[in-house]
Amino acid sequence: MDLPDPAPGSLERAWLDVTGLPTGGAERLPVIVVEGGSPGPTAWVTAGVHGDEVTGVVAAQDVANAFAPADGGADASGPLVDPADLRGRLVCVPVVNPAGLRRTTRHSYYGGEDPNRTFPDPTADSVGERTTQERVAERLYDAFADADLLLDLHTAQVNSIAYVIRHRVLYGERRDRETAEELADDLGRLTDALDLPTVVQYAPEEYVERGLHRSVAGAALNGAGVPACTVELGSHSTVDDRTRAAGVADVFRALVAFDALDSVPDPVLESDPATPDPVDFQVRRYRGPRVDAAGIVRPRVGPGDTVQAGDVVADVRTANGEYQSSVTSDHDGYVLAHRTGVAVYENDAVAALAVRDEEPLVGERP
């Protein structure tokens, strides 16, 4: 899969052919490459691996368009940055899953698997034939495997706040602990530059069990050794302009942190909404708390609200409105998002939380 190779100080838009279609032609991924005027890092921005997570798509477009001449669009006032002022190269792939985007669905129609769990795992023995989605993911992985940093733009559940997911660095067969610590330091350089709350990914055993080491950022980080993180820009299925602006600003902050640019453009900073961190301690992702019986759930706290262990976060009522039980938090932390829908079955999670985390940022691969 060959990327465009624009002249120094210029931008080029193109398409990446990743697989054939039964009706003829090719499935194509859009790509914008900005070639800086002097040597520097190679930065990747990917989005739309889940077809209903559309705020990331437009944020990736807007990052690239900041380096492009004005083209008449309402939001195309560039270039905010002269491509010649960039050091290195910026590669933006706004739509990693075009088949899902066409239907505004999380998955593609190539198969039933989550496309963000199909990227290569170099430490695993290959078993069976690779699916079409895995082949597409492998071709994209091969293209970004030599990058210097990568940000993968997503959105989360309904009513979600915007936040950054920091993946833990795994050591073992692929790299020793010392190398993992060095990679974790490089990753910290990336996540510390961002202005959104940072939430650490699940502990290593759950991380691998959920297949998150085969996500875009997980594979870049733990497979290719590229400092990479997942940026969650609010809720899915519709564009949120506030979180879009926050995402654009954080991509530029990352470019500055890795010495690809001298500063974030003033218009980008001016449109960035303030996103304060709700707590001052390290937190990790947590699906919960969970109900002990089926019913209709009614949240008592909202996204961004802090909670302490024992606080009531939701009530459960029967379908005819009778009070059934209250659901309390079993951790200190804050609410990331509500669950989608109100009907819950036994042991369903009522929310996504960020909860206190005292585990190291590197861990042995289970």
Categorize the per-residue pLDDT at 245 as very low, low, confident or very high, splitting at 50, 70 and 90.
Answer: very high
What pLDDT is stored for residue 28 in this prediction?
96
Residue 297 lies in a domain: yes
Categorize the per-residue pLDDT at 246 as very low, low, confident or very high, splitting at 50, 70 and 90.
Answer: very high
Average pLDDT over residues 183-188: 98
Residue 278 lies in a domain: no
Average pLDDT over residues 245-255: 98
The string of pLDDT tens digits covering residues 35-66 is 999 999 999 999 999 999 999 999 999 999 99
Q: List the CATH number of the domain containing 319.
A: 2.40.50.100
Average pLDDT over residues 319-330: 96
Is the same domain home to 297 and 233? Answer: no
Give the domain extent around 146: 10-271
96 pLDDT exceeds 60?
yes
Is the same domain home to 195 and 305? Answer: no
Categorize the per-residue pLDDT at 127 as very low, low, confident or very high, splitting at 50, 70 and 90.
Answer: low
Average pLDDT over residues 346-351: 96
What pLDDT is stored for residue 174 in this prediction?
86
Categorize the per-residue pLDDT at 252 as very low, low, confident or very high, splitting at 50, 70 and 90.
Answer: very high
How many folded domains does the chain comprise? 2
325 pLDDT exceeds 90?
yes
Is the same domain home to 319 and 226? Answer: no
110 pLDDT exceeds 90?
no
Is the same domain home to 126 and 262? Answer: yes
Residue bearing the bigger pLDDT, 45 or 293 = 45
Residue 30 lies in a domain: yes
Whole-prediction pTM value?
0.96
Cα separation of 252 and 13, whole Å? 20
What pLDDT is stored for residue 221 in this prediction?
98
What pLDDT is stored for residue 129 in this prediction?
81
Is the same domain home to 319 and 266? Answer: no
Residue 276 lies in a domain: no
Categorize the per-residue pLDDT at 70 as very low, low, confident or very high, splitting at 50, 70 and 90.
Answer: confident
Is the same domain home to 212 and 303? Answer: no
Average pLDDT over residues 28-34: 98
Q: List the CATH number of the domain containing 72.
A: 3.40.630.10
- Judged by average pLDDT, the poorest of 70-74, 181-185, 237-241 is 70-74
